[in-house]
Protein backbone atom coordinates (compact mmCIF):
# COMPACT_ATOMS: atom_id res chain seq x y z
CA UNK A 1 0.00 0.00 0.00
CA UNK A 2 2.80 2.43 0.85
CA UNK A 3 4.48 1.94 -2.49
CA UNK A 4 1.16 2.47 -4.23
CA UNK A 5 0.61 5.72 -2.29
CA UNK A 6 4.08 6.92 -3.28
CA UNK A 7 3.78 6.02 -6.92
CA UNK A 8 0.28 7.35 -7.41
CA UNK A 9 1.17 10.66 -5.74
CA UNK A 10 4.36 11.12 -7.76
CA UNK A 11 2.58 10.20 -10.96
CA UNK A 12 -0.14 12.75 -10.25
CA UNK A 13 2.40 15.43 -9.34
CA UNK A 14 4.42 14.93 -12.51
CA UNK A 15 1.24 15.29 -14.54
CA UNK A 16 -0.45 18.26 -12.82
CA UNK A 17 1.94 19.66 -10.14
CA UNK A 18 1.98 23.42 -9.79
CA UNK A 19 4.54 25.43 -11.70
CA UNK A 20 5.91 27.69 -8.93
CA UNK A 21 8.93 30.01 -9.32
CA UNK A 22 10.92 28.40 -6.47
CA UNK A 23 10.33 24.89 -7.84
CA UNK A 24 12.92 25.50 -10.55
CA UNK A 25 15.54 26.50 -8.01
CA UNK A 26 18.05 24.30 -6.21
CA UNK A 27 19.52 27.28 -4.35
CA UNK A 28 18.83 26.76 -0.62
CA UNK A 29 18.66 30.54 -0.06
CA UNK A 30 15.87 30.99 -2.61
CA UNK A 31 14.02 27.95 -1.28
CA UNK A 32 14.43 29.16 2.30
CA UNK A 33 12.89 32.54 1.41
CA UNK A 34 9.93 30.83 -0.27
CA UNK A 35 9.40 28.46 2.68
CA UNK A 36 9.36 31.32 5.19
CA UNK A 37 7.04 33.49 3.09
CA UNK A 38 4.67 30.55 2.59
CA UNK A 39 4.47 29.79 6.32
CA UNK A 40 1.49 32.05 6.91
CA UNK A 41 0.70 33.40 3.46
CA UNK A 42 -0.97 32.10 0.31
CA UNK A 43 1.01 31.26 -2.81
CA UNK A 44 -0.52 33.94 -5.05
CA UNK A 45 0.32 36.65 -2.51
CA UNK A 46 3.83 35.30 -2.01
CA UNK A 47 4.93 35.17 -5.68
CA UNK A 48 5.40 38.93 -6.30
CA UNK A 49 7.00 39.41 -2.88
CA UNK A 50 9.37 36.51 -3.55
CA UNK A 51 10.44 37.91 -6.90
CA UNK A 52 10.98 41.44 -5.57
CA UNK A 53 12.85 40.10 -2.55
CA UNK A 54 15.37 38.20 -4.68
CA UNK A 55 15.92 41.26 -6.84
CA UNK A 56 16.58 43.38 -3.76
CA UNK A 57 18.54 40.77 -1.75
CA UNK A 58 19.92 38.32 -4.35
CA UNK A 59 22.24 36.50 -1.92
CA UNK A 60 22.49 35.66 1.75
CA UNK A 61 25.31 38.19 2.06
CA UNK A 62 23.17 40.93 0.49
CA UNK A 63 20.40 40.21 3.00
CA UNK A 64 22.86 40.12 5.91
CA UNK A 65 24.31 43.49 4.91
CA UNK A 66 20.94 45.20 4.50
CA UNK A 67 19.56 47.56 7.09
CA UNK A 68 16.71 46.08 9.16
CA UNK A 69 14.42 48.87 7.98
CA UNK A 70 14.98 47.87 4.33
CA UNK A 71 14.18 44.27 5.22
CA UNK A 72 10.96 45.19 7.03
CA UNK A 73 9.99 47.51 4.20
CA UNK A 74 10.43 44.68 1.66
CA UNK A 75 8.20 42.52 3.88
CA UNK A 76 5.55 45.18 4.40
CA UNK A 77 2.07 43.74 3.78
CA UNK A 78 3.03 40.08 4.31
CA UNK A 79 2.36 40.23 8.06
CA UNK A 80 3.94 38.18 10.85
CA UNK A 81 7.00 40.41 10.80
CA UNK A 82 9.01 38.16 13.13
CA UNK A 83 9.61 36.12 9.97
CA UNK A 84 11.46 39.02 8.33
CA UNK A 85 13.48 39.85 11.44
CA UNK A 86 14.46 36.18 11.80
CA UNK A 87 15.48 35.92 8.13
CA UNK A 88 17.72 38.93 8.59
CA UNK A 89 19.32 37.62 11.79
CA UNK A 90 19.75 34.15 10.31
CA UNK A 91 21.44 35.60 7.20
CA UNK A 92 23.92 37.45 9.42
CA UNK A 93 24.58 34.25 11.36
CA UNK A 94 25.15 32.25 8.14
CA UNK A 95 27.64 34.84 6.91
CA UNK A 96 29.56 34.72 10.20
CA UNK A 97 29.43 30.96 10.78
CA UNK A 98 29.27 29.44 7.31
CA UNK A 99 30.86 32.05 5.13
CA UNK A 100 27.50 32.86 3.54
CA UNK A 101 26.68 29.26 2.51
CA UNK A 102 23.36 27.87 3.71
CA UNK A 103 24.11 24.79 5.88
CA UNK A 104 23.08 21.34 4.61
CA UNK A 105 22.85 19.59 7.99
CA UNK A 106 19.51 19.30 9.80
CA UNK A 107 20.88 20.30 13.23
CA UNK A 108 22.57 23.41 11.82
CA UNK A 109 19.44 24.46 9.92
CA UNK A 110 17.24 23.94 12.99
CA UNK A 111 19.58 26.20 14.98
CA UNK A 112 18.76 29.17 12.71
CA UNK A 113 16.18 31.64 14.01
CA UNK A 114 12.66 31.11 12.67
CA UNK A 115 13.19 27.57 11.34
CA UNK A 116 11.32 24.61 12.82
CA UNK A 117 11.33 20.97 11.80
CA UNK A 118 8.92 21.20 8.88
CA UNK A 119 10.63 24.25 7.35
CA UNK A 120 14.04 22.59 7.74
CA UNK A 121 12.71 19.41 6.11
CA UNK A 122 11.14 21.46 3.31
CA UNK A 123 14.37 23.34 2.56
CA UNK A 124 16.73 20.37 2.78
CA UNK A 125 14.52 18.08 0.73
CA UNK A 126 13.89 20.71 -1.96
CA UNK A 127 17.46 22.03 -2.19
CA UNK A 128 19.52 18.87 -1.55
CA UNK A 129 16.98 16.06 -2.11
CA UNK A 130 17.52 14.85 1.48
CA UNK A 131 14.96 12.29 2.72
CA UNK A 132 13.41 14.43 5.46
CA UNK A 133 9.67 14.57 6.15
CA UNK A 134 7.52 17.69 6.37
CA UNK A 135 4.36 18.47 8.31
CA UNK A 136 2.93 21.89 7.52
CA UNK A 137 -0.76 22.77 7.84
CA UNK A 138 -1.71 21.33 4.44
CA UNK A 139 0.18 18.10 5.02
CA UNK A 140 -1.39 17.64 8.46
CA UNK A 141 -4.83 17.84 6.89
CA UNK A 142 -4.03 15.36 4.09
CA UNK A 143 -2.47 12.82 6.45
CA UNK A 144 -5.22 13.22 9.04
CA UNK A 145 -7.76 12.36 6.31
CA UNK A 146 -5.69 9.51 4.93
CA UNK A 147 -5.94 7.71 8.29
CA UNK A 148 -9.29 9.28 9.35
CA UNK A 149 -7.64 10.68 12.48
CA UNK A 150 -10.14 10.68 15.33
CA UNK A 151 -8.56 13.59 17.24
CA UNK A 152 -7.50 17.16 16.31
CA UNK A 153 -4.01 17.07 14.70
CA UNK A 154 -2.33 18.93 17.59
CA UNK A 155 -3.20 15.97 19.82
CA UNK A 156 -1.52 13.49 17.47
CA UNK A 157 1.47 15.39 16.18
CA UNK A 158 3.94 12.57 16.87
CA UNK A 159 1.80 10.11 14.96
CA UNK A 160 1.47 12.48 11.99
CA UNK A 161 5.24 13.04 11.85
CA UNK A 162 5.72 9.31 11.92
CA UNK A 163 3.28 8.89 9.06
CA UNK A 164 4.94 11.61 6.99
CA UNK A 165 8.30 9.88 7.55
CA UNK A 166 6.97 6.42 6.72
CA UNK A 167 5.30 7.56 3.51
CA UNK A 168 8.22 9.66 2.27
CA UNK A 169 9.77 8.21 -0.87
CA UNK A 170 13.45 8.15 0.01
CA UNK A 171 14.40 7.85 -3.65
CA UNK A 172 12.46 11.02 -4.57
CA UNK A 173 12.11 13.07 -1.37
CA UNK A 174 12.12 16.43 -3.18
CA UNK A 175 9.25 15.55 -5.50
CA UNK A 176 7.37 13.60 -2.87
CA UNK A 177 7.25 16.47 -0.38
CA UNK A 178 6.34 18.98 -3.08
CA UNK A 179 3.61 16.62 -4.27
CA UNK A 180 2.21 16.27 -0.76
CA UNK A 181 2.04 20.06 -0.40
CA UNK A 182 0.33 20.35 -3.78
CA UNK A 183 -2.22 17.71 -2.87
CA UNK A 184 -3.15 19.67 0.26
CA UNK A 185 -3.24 22.99 -1.56
CA UNK A 186 -5.17 21.97 -4.67
CA UNK A 187 -7.34 18.87 -4.04
CA UNK A 188 -7.39 18.06 -0.33
CA UNK A 189 -8.52 21.56 0.58
CA UNK A 190 -10.04 22.47 3.97
CA UNK A 191 -13.58 22.68 2.54
CA UNK A 192 -15.04 20.40 -0.12
CA UNK A 193 -11.95 18.33 -0.98
CA UNK A 194 -11.96 17.16 -4.59
CA UNK A 195 -11.66 13.45 -3.86
CA UNK A 196 -12.81 12.44 -7.36
CA UNK A 197 -9.50 13.64 -8.77
CA UNK A 198 -7.32 12.55 -5.87
CA UNK A 199 -4.58 9.97 -6.47
CA UNK A 200 -5.08 8.69 -2.92
CA UNK A 201 -8.84 8.19 -2.93
CA UNK A 202 -8.53 4.38 -3.09
CA UNK A 203 -6.63 4.27 0.20
CA UNK A 204 -8.00 7.36 1.96
CA UNK A 205 -9.94 6.27 5.01
CA UNK A 206 -11.81 9.53 5.48
CA UNK A 207 -13.02 9.41 1.88
CA UNK A 208 -13.98 5.76 2.06
CA UNK A 209 -15.91 6.40 5.27
CA UNK A 210 -17.50 9.53 3.77
CA UNK A 211 -16.17 11.73 6.57
CA UNK A 212 -13.61 13.78 4.65
CA UNK A 213 -15.40 17.04 5.49
CA UNK A 214 -15.30 16.29 9.21
CA UNK A 215 -11.59 15.44 9.33
CA UNK A 216 -9.35 16.88 10.63
CA UNK A 217 -11.35 17.60 13.75
CA UNK A 218 -11.13 21.26 14.66
CA UNK A 219 -9.13 22.45 17.63
CA UNK A 220 -11.30 24.06 20.27
CA UNK A 221 -10.20 27.65 20.62
CA UNK A 222 -11.33 30.27 23.14
CA UNK A 223 -12.74 33.48 21.59
CA UNK A 224 -10.01 36.00 20.81
CA UNK A 225 -9.78 39.21 22.86
CA UNK A 226 -10.72 42.56 21.34
CA UNK A 227 -8.55 45.62 22.13
CA UNK A 228 -9.77 49.19 21.67
CA UNK A 229 -6.92 51.57 20.86
CA UNK A 230 -6.77 55.36 20.71
CA UNK A 231 -4.30 56.50 18.03
CA UNK A 232 -2.86 59.98 17.46
CA UNK A 233 -1.79 61.58 14.20
CA UNK A 234 0.14 64.43 15.81
CA UNK A 235 0.81 67.45 13.58
CA UNK A 236 3.31 70.22 14.30
CA UNK A 237 3.37 73.71 12.77
CA UNK A 238 5.57 72.54 9.90
CA UNK A 239 2.97 70.04 8.62
CA UNK A 240 4.99 67.12 9.98
CA UNK A 241 3.59 64.05 11.74
CA UNK A 242 5.15 62.29 14.72
CA UNK A 243 5.77 58.55 14.26
CA UNK A 244 7.54 56.06 16.50
CA UNK A 245 9.38 52.77 15.98
CA UNK A 246 8.18 49.85 18.09
CA UNK A 247 10.58 48.03 20.33
CA UNK A 248 12.33 45.04 18.70
CA UNK A 249 10.82 42.42 20.95
CA UNK A 250 7.15 41.51 20.57
CA UNK A 251 4.53 41.74 17.84
CA UNK A 252 5.41 44.04 14.92
CA UNK A 253 8.79 44.80 16.52
CA UNK A 254 10.95 47.27 14.58
CA UNK A 255 8.02 48.62 12.54
CA UNK A 256 6.89 52.24 12.64
CA UNK A 257 3.46 53.33 13.83
CA UNK A 258 1.33 56.22 14.89
CA UNK A 259 1.52 56.50 18.68
CA UNK A 260 -1.37 55.58 20.97
CA UNK A 261 -2.55 52.89 23.32
CA UNK A 262 -5.35 50.90 24.92
CA UNK A 263 -8.51 52.50 26.26
CA UNK A 264 -8.98 51.96 29.96
CA UNK A 265 -12.43 51.02 31.28
CA UNK A 266 -14.75 54.03 31.19
CA UNK A 267 -12.19 56.24 29.41
CA UNK A 268 -13.11 58.30 26.32
CA UNK A 269 -10.99 57.95 23.20
CA UNK A 270 -9.84 61.58 23.54
CA UNK A 271 -8.75 61.12 27.18
CA UNK A 272 -6.98 57.88 26.30
CA UNK A 273 -4.99 59.55 23.51
CA UNK A 274 -3.91 62.47 25.73
CA UNK A 275 -2.81 60.08 28.51
CA UNK A 276 -1.01 57.64 26.21
CA UNK A 277 0.92 60.37 24.41
CA UNK A 278 2.01 61.86 27.74
CA UNK A 279 3.14 58.40 28.96
CA UNK A 280 4.77 57.27 25.70
CA UNK A 281 6.34 60.46 24.42
CA UNK A 282 6.21 62.93 27.34
CA UNK A 283 4.42 65.65 25.35
CA UNK A 284 1.20 67.59 25.55
CA UNK A 285 -1.26 67.54 22.64
CA UNK A 286 -4.82 68.55 21.85
CA UNK A 287 -7.13 65.97 20.27
CA UNK A 288 -9.15 66.98 17.20
CA UNK A 289 -11.48 65.22 14.75
CA UNK A 290 -11.63 61.49 14.10
CA UNK A 291 -9.71 60.66 10.91
CA UNK A 292 -10.68 56.98 10.56
CA UNK A 293 -11.66 53.87 12.51
CA UNK A 294 -9.69 50.76 11.55
CA UNK A 295 -10.56 47.16 12.44
CA UNK A 296 -7.84 44.55 12.16
CA UNK A 297 -7.60 40.91 13.21
CA UNK A 298 -4.33 39.30 14.24
CA UNK A 299 -3.96 35.60 15.08
CA UNK A 300 -4.60 35.97 18.79
CA UNK A 301 -6.60 39.18 19.09
CA UNK A 302 -8.62 41.79 17.26
CA UNK A 303 -8.04 45.55 17.42
CA UNK A 304 -10.13 48.59 16.67
CA UNK A 305 -8.07 51.73 16.15
CA UNK A 306 -9.81 55.08 16.78
CA UNK A 307 -7.54 57.47 14.94
CA UNK A 308 -7.68 61.21 15.61
CA UNK A 309 -5.94 64.24 14.19
CA UNK A 310 -4.01 65.87 17.06
CA UNK A 311 -2.02 69.06 17.47
CA UNK A 312 1.34 69.23 19.22
CA UNK A 313 1.33 71.78 22.06
CA UNK A 314 4.49 71.53 24.16
CA UNK A 315 7.29 69.32 25.49
CA UNK A 316 10.30 67.60 23.88
CA UNK A 317 9.17 64.21 22.43
CA UNK A 318 11.10 61.35 24.01
CA UNK A 319 11.10 57.61 23.13
CA UNK A 320 9.88 56.51 26.57
CA UNK A 321 8.16 53.31 25.38
CA UNK A 322 9.56 52.87 21.89
CA UNK A 323 12.97 52.69 20.18
CA UNK A 324 12.90 55.88 18.18
CA UNK A 325 10.67 58.80 17.18
CA UNK A 326 10.67 61.02 14.12
CA UNK A 327 8.80 63.99 12.65
CA UNK A 328 8.05 63.22 9.00
CA UNK A 329 6.01 64.77 6.20
CA UNK A 330 3.33 62.82 4.38
CA UNK A 331 5.65 62.72 1.35
CA UNK A 332 8.43 61.07 3.38
CA UNK A 333 6.31 58.56 5.24
CA UNK A 334 6.55 55.82 2.57
CA UNK A 335 10.22 55.30 3.38
CA UNK A 336 9.21 53.72 6.69
CA UNK A 337 7.80 50.19 7.17
CA UNK A 338 4.36 50.25 8.82
CA UNK A 339 2.01 47.40 9.80
CA UNK A 340 -1.08 46.91 7.63
CA UNK A 341 -3.52 48.59 10.00
CA UNK A 342 -1.36 51.75 9.97
CA UNK A 343 -1.10 51.72 6.16
CA UNK A 344 -4.86 52.32 6.11
CA UNK A 345 -4.30 55.41 8.26
CA UNK A 346 -1.72 56.72 5.79
CA UNK A 347 -4.15 56.14 2.91
CA UNK A 348 -6.83 58.04 4.83
CA UNK A 349 -4.40 60.93 5.40
CA UNK A 350 -3.66 61.05 1.66
CA UNK A 351 -7.32 61.20 0.72
CA UNK A 352 -8.41 63.48 3.58
S1 LIG B 1 -9.39 11.28 -1.07
FE2 LIG B 1 -10.14 13.29 -0.56
S3 LIG B 1 -9.90 13.49 1.63
FE4 LIG B 1 -8.64 11.77 0.97
S5 LIG B 1 -6.60 12.63 0.63
FE6 LIG B 1 -7.69 12.68 -1.32
S7 LIG B 1 -8.67 14.71 -1.44
FE8 LIG B 1 -8.06 14.33 0.68
| 284 backbone dihedrals φ, ψ, rounded to 5° | -105, 135
Q: Does the residue 215 lie in any domain?
A: no
Q: Does the residue 221 lie in any domain?
A: no
Strand partners, 302: 226, 297
Specify whether the CB–CB gap between 104 and 28 falls below 8 A: yes
What's residue 219's pLDDT? 76
Mean pLDDT computed over 69-87:
94
Q: Residue 31 maps to which CATH number?
A: 1.10.340.30
Q: Report whether residue 187 contacts ligand 1, using a CB cutoff of 6 Å.
A: yes
55 and 149 in a single domain? The answer is yes
- Number of compact structural domains in the chain: 2
91 and 118 in a single domain? The answer is yes
Q: What CA–CA distances, in Å, run from 196 to 3, 28, 89, 188, 331?
A: 21, 35, 45, 11, 54
Integer Cα distance of 206 and 292 in angstroms? 48
Choosing from 9, 209, 212 the residue with most ligand 1 atoms within 8 A of its CB, the one to mutate for a pocket test is: 212
130 and 186 in a single domain? The answer is yes
159 and 251 in a single domain? The answer is no
What's residue 299's pLDDT? 79
Q: Whose CA is nearest to atom 1 of ligand 1?
A: 201
192 and 231 in a single domain? The answer is no
Q: Where a domain ends, among 154, 177, 209?
A: 209
Q: Where a domain ends, among 154, 178, 209?
A: 209
Per-residue pLDDT tens digits for 209-229: 898 998 898 877 777 889 999
CA 119 – ligand 1 centroid, Å: 24
121 and 249 in a single domain? The answer is no
CA 13 – ligand 1 centroid, Å: 15
Q: Report whether residue 146 contacts ligand 1, using a CB cutoff of 6 Å.
A: yes
How do the residues of the chain divide into helix, strand and coil, expressed in percent and rounded to 5?
Answer: 50, 15, 40
* Pairing verdict, β 324-328 and 241-245: antiparallel
Integer Cα distance of 223 and 213 in angstroms? 23
Q: Residue 244 maps to which CATH number?
A: 3.90.79.10
Q: Report whether residue 216 contacts ligand 1, using a CB cutoff of 6 Å.
A: no
**Annotated catalytic, 35?**
yes
Q: Report whether residue 167 contacts ligand 1, using a CB cutoff of 6 Å.
A: no
Q: Whose CA is nearest to atom 2 of ligand 1?
A: 195
Q: Report whether residue 139 contacts ligand 1, using a CB cutoff of 6 Å.
A: no
Per-residue pLDDT tens digits for 67-77: 999 999 999 99
307 and 347 in a single domain? The answer is yes
Q: Does the residue 270 lie in any domain?
A: yes
Spell out the alpha helix ranges (H) of 100-214: 106-110, 117-128, 137-146, 157-167, 173-182, 205-209
Per-residue pLDDT tens digits for 6-32: 999 999 999 999 999 999 999 999 999
What's residue 22's pLDDT? 96
Range of the domain at 270: 226-351
What's residue 78's pLDDT? 93
Per-residue pLDDT tens digits for 236-267: 999 999 999 999 887 788 999 999 999 998 89
CA 159 – ligand 1 centroid, Å: 19
Q: Report whether residue 9 contacts ligand 1, using a CB cutoff of 6 Å.
A: no
**Full-model pTM:** 0.80
Closest CA relative to residue 254, chosen from 2, 85, 117, 113:
85
196 and 282 in a single domain? The answer is no
CA 220 – ligand 1 centroid, Å: 23
Residue 219 burial class via C-beta count within 10 angstroms: exposed 0-12, middle 13-18, buried 19 and up: exposed
Q: Does the residue 214 lie in any domain?
A: no
Of these residues, 30, 35, 156, 280, which one is catalytic? 35
Q: Does the residue 38 lie in any domain?
A: yes
Q: Does the residue 153 lie in any domain?
A: yes
CA 311 – ligand 1 centroid, Å: 59
184 and 268 in a single domain? The answer is no
238 and 339 in a single domain? The answer is yes
Q: Which sign does the torsion angle of CA 149, 154, 156, 162 carry?
A: positive
Choosing from 9, 188, 216 the residue with most ligand 1 atoms within 8 A of its CB, the one to mutate for a pocket test is: 188
* Nearest atom in ligand 1 to 187's CA: 7
179 and 251 in a single domain? The answer is no
55 and 167 in a single domain? The answer is yes
Q: Report whether residue 198 contacts ligand 1, using a CB cutoff of 6 Å.
A: yes
Q: Does the residue 55 lie in any domain?
A: yes
Q: Does the residue 218 lie in any domain?
A: no
Q: Whose CA is nearest to atom 8 of ligand 1?
A: 188
Q: Where a domain ends, among 162, 183, 209?
A: 209
Q: Report whether residue 206 contacts ligand 1, using a CB cutoff of 6 Å.
A: yes
* Nearest atom in ligand 1 to 204's CA: 4
Amino acid sequence: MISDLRQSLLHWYRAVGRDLPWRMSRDPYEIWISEIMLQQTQVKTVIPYYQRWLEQFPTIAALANADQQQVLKAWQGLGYYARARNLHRAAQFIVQQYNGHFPDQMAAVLALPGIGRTTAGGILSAAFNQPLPILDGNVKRVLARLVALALPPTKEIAQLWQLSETLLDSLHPRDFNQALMDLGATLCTPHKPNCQLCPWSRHCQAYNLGVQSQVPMSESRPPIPHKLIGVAVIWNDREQILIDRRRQEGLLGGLWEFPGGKLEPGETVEACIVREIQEELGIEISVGDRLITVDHTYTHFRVTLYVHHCRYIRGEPQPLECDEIRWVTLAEIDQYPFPKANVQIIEALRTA
